[in-house]
């Protein structure tokens, strides 16, 4: 009798454990999807598909790589809202941004997801100085005009020793191009007795060659385009601002920022410890034409 009771208890315990394990296994969601090229609908293989949980969720992230038919599968995904990003060299996600939001409900597998990618556009070119010589280490940025991508419409590159740059992975659209020389790049250094306004440095310049962003000409690109542009950086008057910081606790640092209201001037900042500071800023002279 005792053996019968023990056997029955084991059977009940096993059944209870199995019953509790089923919902946990069943709660996982299976995702099937396809990544296609737009236009055309050709499958894109070796695309990296990632599902990242939205903020505030602890679901983590899941990823898969598409097969030769552009298909992918992800098992045992927890319910929740995810941001889907797809990466592949030479392509960009064909959407308003670089990610798509999707909600996964408990017990509902996703078997018909279709994502599209477009051939990426590229902007290439060369940056030169006032003498027509190539400038290296110039940061060239492409900012999408009227972008609603919350920071995703900004791309940049840096010129090499030949002054060449290449900005890749661009979605179709219109972009404002900015060339930002290294901070303090001097165009001319007059003697100390000369007018400070004659001290010129290279300043941020907008394509096709202006210090005023309002006069910049946007560059339009289409899927798969490679658009070449060349332009030179302009100069601006430079001023030196010096000062002393006192009263800081030991080992603390403070950020000094200088911001001008003159159109076309960028904020300049510098981190310093207690003591003196010195830096230059470019300030377009409204009375002087570049």
pTM of the model: 0.69
Q: Could you check whether 25-118 and 121-237 share the same CATH topology?
A: yes
* Domain positions in the chain: 25-118, 121-237, 239-283
Please, which pLDDT band fits residue 189 given cuts at 50, 70 and 90?
low
Q: Tell me yes or no: is domain 121-237 CATH 1.10.3720.10.
A: no
Nearest to 254, CA basis, from 276, 279, 280, 272:
272
Is pLDDT above 80 for 278?
A: no
Check residue 84 and give its pLDDT: 93
Give the pLDDT confidence of 98-156 residue by residue, as tens digits: 668 899 999 899 988 999 999 999 999 999 999 999 999 999 999 999 765 544 578 99
- For residues 15-44, one letter each, b for 16 or more C-beta atoms within 10 angstroms of the residue's C-beta and e for the rest, the string is eeeeeeeeeeeeeebebebbbbbeeeeeeb
Please, which pLDDT band fits residue 185 given cuts at 50, 70 and 90?
confident
Name the CATH superfamily for 25-118. Answer: Carboxypeptidase-like, regulatory domain (2.60.40.1120)
Check residue 150 and give its pLDDT: 47
Please, which pLDDT band fits residue 218 given cuts at 50, 70 and 90?
very high
Indicate the Cα dihedral angle 21, 24, 25, 29, nearest 10°: 170
């Amino acid at each position: 009798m005792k053996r019968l009771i023990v056997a029955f208890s084991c059977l009940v315990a096993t059944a209870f454990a199995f019953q509790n394990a089923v919902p946990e296994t069943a709660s996982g969601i299976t995702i099937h999807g396809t990544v296609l090229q737009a236009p055309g609908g050709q499958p894109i293989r070796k695309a990296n598909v990632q599902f990242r949980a939205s903020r505030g969720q602890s679901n983590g992230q899941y990823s898969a790589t598409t097969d030769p038919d552009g298909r992918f599968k992800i098992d045992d995904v927890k319910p929740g809202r995810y941001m889907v990003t797809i990466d592949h060299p030479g392509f960009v996600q064909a959407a308003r941004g670089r990610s798509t939001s999707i909600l996964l409900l408990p017990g509902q597998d996703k078997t018909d997801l279709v994502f599209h990618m477009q051939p990426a556009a590229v902007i290439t070119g060369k940056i030169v100085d006032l003498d027509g010589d190539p400038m290296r280490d110039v940061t060239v940025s492409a900012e999408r005009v009227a972008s609603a991508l919350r920071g995703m419409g900004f791309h940049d590159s840096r010129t090499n020793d030949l002054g060449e740059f290449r900005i890749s992975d661009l979605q179709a659209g219109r972009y404002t191009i900015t060339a930002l020389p290294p901070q303090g790049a001097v165009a001319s250094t007059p003697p100390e007795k000369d007018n400070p306004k004659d001290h010129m440095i290279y300043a941020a310049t907008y394509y096709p060659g202006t210090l005023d962003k309002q006069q910049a000409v946007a560059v339009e690109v289409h899927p798969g385009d490679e658009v070449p542009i060349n332009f030179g950086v302009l100069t601006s008057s430079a001023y030196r601002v010096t000062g002393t910081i006192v009263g800081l606790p030991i080992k603390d640092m403070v950020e000094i920022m200088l911001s001008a209201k003159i159109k076309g001037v960028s904020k300049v900042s510098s981190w310093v410890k207690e003591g003196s500071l010195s830096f230059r800023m470019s300030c377009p002279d409204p009375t002087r034409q570049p």
